[in-house]
Structure 1
Amino acid sequence: MSECRRRVAVLGCTGSIGVQTLDVCRQHSDRLEVVALSAHRSIAGLVSAAREFNVSAVALTDSSLSADPRLSELPDPHRCGFGMRAAIDMCLSDEVDVVVVAIVGAAGLHATYELMAAGKTIALANKESLVVGGDLIMPLARPGQLLPVDSEHSAIFQCYLGEDMRSTHKIWLTCSGGPFYGCSREELERVTVADALAHPTWNMGSKITIDSATLINKGLERIEAMHLFDIDLDRIEVLIQRQSKIHSMVEFADGSVMAHLGASDMRIPIQLALSYPDRWESPAPRVDFRTLGSLDFDAPDADAFRCLALAERAGMTGGTLPCVLNAANEVAVDAFLHERCSFTDIPRIVEGCLDAHDVQPVSSLEQLDEVDAWARITSERFVTSLSR
């Protein structure tokens, strides 16, 4: 084993980002060593990855599966922990250099906070950590400790390299527009789950794919960027870039604009988060700009895609309201995926929860847990009322 290899833990190794992270580790096995893995329920995926990379430190966050006989196939089944606490603890080991937090949803908040507090370097692919708990997490961050994995935030991070962030005029946060670009609110009323899962560009998990279809992912990413780059929300502009080749841009005070361009492949920002400050050979096919044809831009339709406006409301208000936004959206998206509500019911559910919440300043993880629980109960009531 080469001592110069970076030792990587992957929280959420069986999800879309986790699988692509392992692909990067596979391609750069001379530079990266996978030493710890977690999954929520996918035992087959966890066992397969642990055996391939010969990883004995593993965790299954769904403790109800602790007696599953398939776990005996792990390289060292006696070192398998259960629950989120076990997943966090294995990442706190001195044997881990960098942790990829690829857990979907608010579940990643506690992991991100504890690992940051312990001084671990984090490759963050869980936007909810900063959307919900940015007020608590960012004060812990030291330079180079928190590396963004989202393609847009990685792009912004790279645009700032060597620049004075204080001279920023605006951040242009790009998006493809999702599968329903150009649709009216009336047309969105007829959207099916299959329609919403057919993203035109990116390969993502179902929850994130629906977030892309409603455009709430851009609203969440604006809030995340506000925390990451310490910039007012009204200076972060959402811009539709249909080809998904410009991943975001930073416009400076003098009118200069730095843009990050490249292939639509999440392995590129994942790899940079693991290699920074170095750049390694590309894990993805390169873009031939001679054949690209054109780059198209447009403004998002906030009337048809109401989640954008709701996210802006939460981000501008701050406090505990982004926590409510995130939790209500998770419940609404799950209801839509299980055909318990319509596509356009998602913003209705979220708005109902925002209206019902008494906003407080963020003070602790325990407070955010309570707000999250309240928002999930409240949004579930809205789902039930819509289905009657």
Structure 2
Amino acid sequence: MTGSGAGSPAVRLIVPGNVLHNSGGNAYNAALARGLTALGADVDICRIDGTWPVGSEEERRRLAGLLLDGADDVGSAGREATVPPVTIVDGLVALGAPSALEEAAAAGRPAWILVHMQLAEHPDLEGRALAAAAGVICASSTAASELQARHSLLRLNSAGRSTTPIHVALPGTSAAPTAAGSNPPHFLAVAALLPNKDQLLLLKALAGLRDLPWTASLVGSDAADPAYAEAVRSAVTALGLRDRVSVEGELRGPALETEWDRADLSLLISQAETYGMVVTESLARGIPVVVRDGTGAVEALAAGSRGAAEAPDGGGGASALPGAAVVLGTDPAPLERALRRWLSTPELRLRWREAALAARNRLPGWDVTAGTVLDFIAAAG
């Protein structure tokens, strides 16, 4: 594996300055930077403000200028560089600003794009940006498959030759203590309060379980979409769950670790998810997870498993997966049934817990992610 000593390149990582909550993309970028540094790379993190994705004309011009900056102006160690750094741009910034990527490529300074999620609303801009990139690194196989399905030019051009390469560098996982759990069982949903994360559907499912003992915490930013956050808080009251469910807002440090430690089951039922790092963060603590089937969170759920497949509704047969992928639409009943079965079946709780404990020992660390990225860069160089 590439990545230690003098052979490691200087890397400039351009990330959005307008995402202030603790998103999965932000967490990935920060952990990747630490991993690259640990492997000997000189990493410079550049935060660029803007109304990303797409941004204004002025913001896109600033991005183009940053991509074309001279090598002497970069380097976190303050060294005088003679070789331009390898530039990696977060897809939230890059995918809606193809002109900046094209200008950099025309000047012989093509940038890599790190894709956490596709830019579904602007496929034309996305396609142009990807085509102008030195290479594309996706944070999940799901994201890579979606891009290839949307943009066939990324696989073969009209002459039958490969064009922009697409690579996958799965998120790593940091070591964490095993969660102690609670009595009664405690559900934990770690996600910003956003419509895509579908906390309202989760609350409706939990409301149907009031005949069983349990508690739950919703942990995540309530500033990203204040109106939705208020709707979630109102639903807790309207559904009669104030004595069961706490809405904690965004937590960090010891307060977040306390929530992880008391959890018995983690829930991530996003309507769309390219991976879902909170899933592997749960497994790192021996906490099984329920996710929505058909999203990238299913890939994360299997990250530490050995190829076993769970029935979509979480029932039937033995499984080595630490949880279940539930088929969900707008009806909370399937989720309610899956959670009721878990609450009511000690054998199932034990099986999922044992699978989660086994998975935590097989999860790759961020050193693997960083080394994979360096390998991609070296192969392209």
Q: Same fold (TM over 0.5)?
A: no
More helix by share: 1
Q: TM-score range by the shorter chain?
A: 0.3 to 0.5
Question: TM (normalized to structure 2)?
Answer: 0.35
Structure having the higher Rg: 2
